[in-house]
């Protein structure tokens, strides 16, 4: 017969292996759920938060540029002086 200490260490190793396998399986299930969610969102035409924020920052930059261009158009044109009077 094996000594009792080996049986307990074997059970501990089995428990660690099972916990590791369950942790890996949990990660796999979460990854599958995330990919299904992303596929369903893409199929329905939804965008991610990161894409939305990137688009909004571009829109804000364009709005600022349009505002500055409109301000330039509203300013009266400066009359150009004659280059030099002919002698």
For residue 79 the two structure tokens come to 């009359």
Question: The tokens 């307990």 sit on which residue?
Answer: 8
For residue 68 the two structure tokens come to 């500055």
Averaged confidence pLDDT in the chain: 86
What pLDDT was estimated at residue 77? 67
Averaged over 28-46, what is the pLDDT?
91
> What pTM was estimated for this model as a whole?
0.45
Contacts of 55 by beta carbon, 8 Å cutoff, 6+ apart: 47
Q: How many residues would you count in the chain?
A: 87
Q: Spell out the domain ranges in the chain.
A: 4-73
**pLDDT bucket at 4, cuts 50 / 70 / 90:** low
d(CA 9, CA 6): 5
What pLDDT was estimated at residue 68? 94
């Amino acid at each position: 017969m094996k000594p009792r200490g080996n049986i307990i260490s074997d059970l501990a190793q089995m428990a660690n292996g099972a916990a590791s396998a369950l942790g890996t399986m949990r990660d796999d299930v979460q990854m599958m759920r995330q990919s299904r969610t992303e596929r369903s969102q893409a199929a329905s035409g939804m965008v991610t938060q990161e894409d939305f924020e990137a688009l909004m920052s571009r829109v804000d930059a364009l709005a600022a540029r349009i505002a500055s261009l409109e301000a330039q158009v509203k300013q009266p044109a400066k009359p150009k002086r004659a280059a030099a009077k002919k002698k």
